[in-house]
Chain A
């Protein structure tokens, strides 16, 4: 057996702790659709490996994954599943009677396109993401199929290859199998584009932040989108806000955990750094033991956008004070936007809202107006379609 020693030491040579007794195991494909669905439901979407340190080995990561599954007990989706076992890729190729993947630098003159299985050309992607930001170390190996005539059907890396060709390069790295079966074209394409793990918004933010830092350290120009991620990181970091993957339950809910980083990035871009920073700070200070509510921030940004009060600091302080008078508990962050939205929906007899940030901003405006005693200049929020605007009054003690 070639499982890492850490794995076999704990889970057993045949993964007894993870899969149960060998004799009781069944092949995944022998399960009914209903049985498969019941197990799929129990697969954790996300497993945090942050606690394993800065450079955990793959064996440590796999151990953590297996351990998390085993800890699910009766709900372990792999319990009783007969996983196939192969000594090597070569062994799997023989067992499954399928070709193996080769890897070489290949001449683009051999490359052809299977028009039935391939998409067309996204030119902006080639020019903006590849040609204008070309880095040889980022031309990853593509994937394809070489037929008996020597033609290579490229099933992944069409854009990378065309980008290289535009720059005069005529050899690119490629993984390929040797086969005349066009079946592999659609299989390779699907495996890469359908079955692969998509980059989540959290990952995008995390990678952009790291890349911005690396660029600054190396003295390179920082990509504007990376700069936004880094600016957001600095604000979150200063406020103790933890940005996490959606579905990551390892941090708990009793902290300023932000799982909607995709939305926050959109709002940051729409309202700009200054307003976004103020809104994030107000929200984090108001509800320090609450999940970070992006909807509150969205409404705050929309509200702040229209304000012209002479002292931003005073206005932010009064917003904080007014909201805390209505919602004194530090963990009631979720109530602010939900109270406002519920009042608006009920009083307008609607089940779904249009102009959500404007609605929340209007609620905040009413709240500050009612609960603040300071001499503030408060401007009304602006409805996108004034003739169809919602009219509602927030429930307040006045």
Chain B
């Protein structure tokens, strides 16, 4: 299932080149983001602008987040998977499934909110672009359930759990 990356990467690239041309809130969030999109034609930027509204970022923070956000990620077996940054009508992987989890970008707090709170960080520090990264949904699932120490202890044993 998750080996359909070539076709999906191609479709994501095609969608980036020929994005949806309608003013639709489910696709472009609001009129302001739509107008920004008409100038930059960049679906990744739409995603970053969504975080701008969520965390009340400045333009400088938007630029920082955009600059550090990758177009895709290289998995452990050497496959490069483009992120499906589009929303609404621009989304390529519309059906739930393993493939979608490998291409769906999710914003992740590098130091989790609960951990950062315990360390005494302010909300502004927690939600600053320096503490946020885009990772795939499948990576985020693993990160949600395991911390760094648990991962180090468990991950070498996982391969042995599969037959052959």
Contact residue among B21, B31, B38, B39 (Cβ-Cβ distance under 8 Å from A325):
B21
Of B21, B24, B89, which one neighbours A396 at CB under 8 angstroms?
B21
CB<8 Å pairs between A and B, sample of 25: A324-B22, A325-B21, A326-B22, A326-B23, A327-B22, A327-B23, A328-B22, A328-B24, A329-B24, A332-B23, A335-B23, A335-B31, A339-B23, A371-B21, A395-B34, A395-B35, A395-B38, A395-B39, A396-B21, A396-B38, A397-B19, A397-B20, A397-B21, A397-B37, A397-B38
Using Cβ atoms and an 8 Å threshold, which residues of chain A touch B38? 395-397
Q: Nearest A residue to B34 by beta-carbon distance?
A: A395
Q: What are the interface flags for B69-107 relative to A under an 8 Å C-beta threshold, 1 for contact and 0 otherwise?
A: 000000000000000000001000000000000000000
A327 to chain B: closest residue by CB: B23
Q: Say whether B41 faces chain A, with CB atoms less than 8 Å apart.
A: yes
Residues of A in contact, count (CB < 8 Å):
13
B151 to chain A minimum Cβ distance, whole angstroms, is 42
Interface centre among A324, A327, A397 (most CB of B within 10 A): A397
Instruction: Give 13 A-B pairs besides A335-B23, A395-B35 with Cβ atoms closer than 8 angstroms.
Output: A325-B22, A326-B22, A327-B22, A328-B89, A332-B23, A335-B31, A371-B21, A395-B39, A396-B38, A397-B19, A397-B20, A397-B37, A397-B38
A contact residues vs B (CB 8 Å cutoff)? 324-329, 332, 335, 339, 371, 395-397
> How many residue pairs between the two chains, A and B, have CB atoms under 8 Å in the bound complex?
30
Residue of A nearest to B21 (CB): A397
Which B residues are within 8 Å of any A CB, using their own CB? 19-24, 31, 34-35, 37-39, 41, 89
For the complex, what is the distance from the CA of A396 to the CA of B38, rounded to whole Å?
6
Q: Give CA–CA (A325, B20) in the complex, Å.
A: 9
Complex CA distance for A397 and B20, rounded to whole angstroms: 8
CA distance A396 to B41 in the complex (A): 10
C-alpha spacing A335/B39, complex, angstroms: 19
User: With a CB–CB cut-off of 8 A, which chain A residues contact B39?
Assistant: 395
- For B31, the chain A residues whose CB sits under 8 A away are 335, 339
Chain A nearest CB: distance from B46 CB in Å? 12
Within the complex, the shortest CB–CB distance from A396 to chain B, in Å, comes to 6
Closest beta carbon of chain B to A323's beta carbon, Å = 10
Expressed in whole angstroms, the minimum distance between the Cβ of B139 and any Cβ of chain A is: 31
